[in-house]
Amino acid sequence: MTPAPDGRGANKPATPARPPRSRWWIVAVVVTLLAINLWVSSQALKPNAPIRIPYYPTFIDQVNAHNVKTVDTTVNSVTGTLATPIRYPPGDTTSPASTNFSTQIPSFANGNQLASLLEKQGVTINARAPSSGPSVLESLIFGFGPTLLLVGLFVIVARRMATGGGGGAGGLMSFGRSRARRVEANDQHATFADVAGIDEAKEELTEIVDFLRGPEKYLKLGARIPRGVLLSGQPGTGKTLLARAVAGEAGVPFFQMSASEFVEMIVGVGASRVRDLFHQAKEAAPAIIFIDELDAIGRSRAAGGPNLSGGHDEREQTLNQILTEMDGFDPRTSVIVLGATNRPEILDQALLRPGRFDRRVVVAPPDRAGREAILRVHTRSVPLAPEVDLGAIAASTPGMVGADLANLVNEAALMAAKRGHAQVHRQDLSDALERIVLGAARKVMISEADRRRTAYHEAGHAIMGMLTPGADPVRKVSIIPRGQALGVTFSAPDADRFNFDQRHLLAQIKVMLGGRVAEEVVFGDLTTGAESDIQQLTRIARHMVGRWGMSPAIGPVAVLPADGQGPLLPGVSETSEETQRLVDAEVRRIVETAHEEATRELAEHRENLDSLVAALLQNETLDQEEAYAAAGLAQGAAAGAQTALQAGEAQEAEPPAVS
Ligand code: ADP
Ligand code: MG
Ligand code: ZN
């Protein structure tokens, strides 16, 4: 479930809160406790209630005084009767006198002696075998008590949940009521102006808004408006925000519920909640029902295994109920169901059929201009220093989505406040970005030798990035340790990349090798610090050979599965061992060639390397301008124009930072 972002759009329960009617159980508990208390004290006050006395001296004394008439003993405990009542403690007149007593025989007492003493005094001895089992009452209490307690507790908790969730009326009947948050039209403050950078999705939804504003216009022409619209896109792209904005623009009530909230422990509750939700919405029509995180129940019935919360049946029943409700709509009810999911591919096909979620709106991550627009939205109420260039920030944040950017602005504002600034400065923003992208800086003691080595390693990456045609410009070099990494070199393209040409991939490999090569060139030995570099560059080289057809020896043949596709190529039998060996050889050839070139180039540019290292040791972090200046290399000298070799499927962006 997504809380109302930004604190806007105050949420209201569907019906005004009533005083809960379910106080009876508190009363019941109190009454029971009182009754138990009374019974216990009445037992103690009863005349002749057994008194507990010590074995020695009291019990032995009483025996010697001929006052004990009978004893009943099991293993070590003794109850018995006395001829004349006594009190215990002896002088205490507040406690009642009694002829019944109980005592415990210590395990070290000599049983024979006691027996002969009792016999001598003429006491009647009733020995009983140790009780062979609990009495009927006991077994009832111990057998069913805990279960009863648990059931009672469960009922109480369930009832509280049913009443507490904002679904409205209390009492047993509200158990299956929907707990949707209903937001009234005039409380809905999100509008399309709050949503930026996802213009295509916004455009597709304007039609929906128009319909909800004036359904008659459409209905007169017999037009059928889509009943269900599915927003799909990765987390944080603004799906929830967009749905709220649709309601805000249309000025209609908005019923929001996260699919996971339908699914409860008890089978059937989800379905009845769905029924109730649709019922409420129909009464309020025109209205919007928004089911967030639809994949929680809409997962393909064929694919998903049983999940922990609720299990299979419950999910299926809930899903079926949604399908039924959507089918049962009168097409003229102006209720539109919006759904959102991060994973449209796992949704049950039944959900996507006509008349259900038949309209799909993809909410894609924003491009550079989009990111700038989102930054503008989120800095509307943030005082920015004049030197802040949102365009530049947008350029250095490829891959970030709306939620990341909102977070970035917030972090920067926090940073500025902590530093006592009156405005948010460029430094605050770039520090916040660093913190988000690279993990929080950690403070540790690092030896001077380690610092120097790290500086050479990072400078090696950076110099290779500056020298190699086709490499992304170096944005930042730092030897401040973060998370696992001792330092980091961060490069990013000027524009978002959707395709990677061969030259760029080879350049990336060389840049990743740069760190290790610099260590080789300068120190002549190796450290373990280049592990992740080596992993990344090996992966790129393997993909070039096995997936992207960039090796002449293999040719344009896919011999490796894409990431996340299991070990085999779909629809193809396993590649031969010979091919595998050829792939390995080709990967090795690519990496070795790059390694030789990098070694030669770094040796040739040793002066640039040394001066960049000096600046790094001095300043720890260098931004783009400072880094190029310190290295004595011109910006843009190496970065030629990028030409994508082929259009088509966008490759996943390679991680921009090397450490
Ligand atoms: P999703 O539902 O896709 O995971 P949300 O809508 O919950 O993402 O986004 C979380 C927050 O991130 C929003 O409340 C908003 O502050 C910000 N945000 C996300 N996308 C955008 C966008 N396109 N424009 C403006 N703000 C956005
Ligand atoms: Mg969401
Ligand atoms: Zn590295």
The burial of 122, by beta-carbon neighbours within 10 Å (0-12 exposed, 13-18 middle, 19 or more buried), is given as exposed
CATH number at residue 390: 1.10.8.60
Active site residue 620: no
Residue 50 placed within a domain: yes
CA distance 478 to 471: 19
Q: Which residues have their alpha-adjacent CB atom under 5 A from ion ligand 3?
A: 515, 533, 658-659
CATH number at residue 610: 1.20.58.760
Q: Which residue has the tokens 């025109």?
A: 286
CA distance 81 to 62: 11
Q: Are residues 602 and 637 in the same domain?
A: yes
CA 424 to chain centre: 30
Residue 539 placed within a domain: yes
Residue 166 placed within a domain: no
Dihedral sign computed on CA atoms, order 523, 525, 530, 535: positive
- Of 241, 295, 390, which is best to mutate to test ligand 1, by the most ligand atoms within 8 angstroms of its C-beta? 241
Residue 293 placed within a domain: yes
CATH number at residue 101: 3.30.720.210
Pairing mode, strands 181-183 and 287-292? unpaired
How far away, in angstroms, is 657 Cα from ligand 3 center?
9
Q: Are residues 241 and 266 in the same domain?
A: yes
Q: Are residues 500 and 635 in the same domain?
A: yes
Of 416, 438, 460, the position where a domain reaches its end is: 438
Q: Are residues 208 and 105 in the same domain?
A: no
Residue 25 placed within a domain: no
Residue 397 placed within a domain: yes
Q: Which uninterrupted H or E stretch holds 68?
A: strand 68-73
Q: What is the pLDDT of residues 371-388, one digit of tens each?
A: 899 999 999 999 999 999
CA distance 485 to 529: 8
Expressed as residue numbers, the domain containing 524 is 448-563+575-646
Residue 514: nearest ligand to its CA? Answer: 3
H helices then E strands: how many in the chain?
21, 15
Of 127, 153, 168, the position where a domain reaches its end is: 127
Q: Are residues 552 and 607 in the same domain?
A: yes
Domain total in the chain: 4
Residue 225 placed within a domain: yes
Q: What φ, ψ does residue 493 adopt, rounded to 5°?
A: -75, 165
Q: Are residues 357 and 386 in the same domain?
A: no
Residue 241: nearest ligand to its CA? Answer: 1
Give the binding-site residues of ligand 1, using a 6 Å CB cut-off: 2, 5-6, 195-198, 233, 235-241, 340, 374, 377, 402-403, 406
* Tokens at 475, concatenated: 């944005």
Choice among 458, 520, 586, 597 that is catalytic: 458
Indicate the SS3 state at residue 558: coil
Determine which residue's CA is closest to atom 17 belonging to ligand 1: 403
Determine which residue's CA is closest to atom 21 belonging to ligand 1: 402
How far away, in angstroms, is 182 Cα from ligand 3 center?
51
Q: Are residues 76 and 214 in the same domain?
A: no
CA distance 24 to 159: 12
Q: 70: phi > 0 → left, psi -120 to 50 → alpha, else beta; which?
A: beta
Q: What is the pLDDT of residues 468-506, one digit of tens each?
A: 988 888 988 988 766 567 788 888 777 766 667 888 999
How far away, in angstroms, is 81 Cα from ligand 2 center?
76
Residue 198 placed within a domain: yes
Determine which residue's CA is closest to atom 6 belonging to ligand 1: 238
- Global pTM reads 0.53
Q: Are residues 559 and 428 in the same domain?
A: no
What letter would DSSP give residue 357? Answer: S
For residue 407, give the ligand 1 atom closest to its CA.
12
Q: Are residues 337 and 322 in the same domain?
A: yes
Q: Are residues 88 and 206 in the same domain?
A: no
CA 205 to chain centre: 29
Residue 242: nearest ligand to its CA? Answer: 1
* Alpha helices in 179-235, H assignment, sequence order: 199-213, 215-220
Q: Are residues 348 and 241 in the same domain?
A: yes
Indicate the SS3 state at residue 353: coil
CA distance 245 to 5: 12
Pairing mode, strands 621-623 and 474-478? antiparallel
Q: Are residues 186 and 270 in the same domain?
A: yes
CA distance 183 to 244: 9
How far away, in angstroms, is 281 Cα from ligand 1 center?
25
CATH number at residue 222: 3.40.50.300
Of 382, 409, 438, the position where a domain reaches its end is: 438
Determine which residue's CA is closest to atom 27 belonging to ligand 1: 402
CA distance 546 to 535: 16
Low-confidence ranges of the chain (pLDDT < 70): 1-23, 40-47, 130-135, 159-188, 262-268, 300-313, 331-332, 398-399, 438-446, 481-484, 496-499, 561-574, 636-659
For residue 235, give the ligand 1 atom closest to its CA.
4
Q: What φ, ψ does residue 318 adopt, rounded to 5°?
A: -65, -45
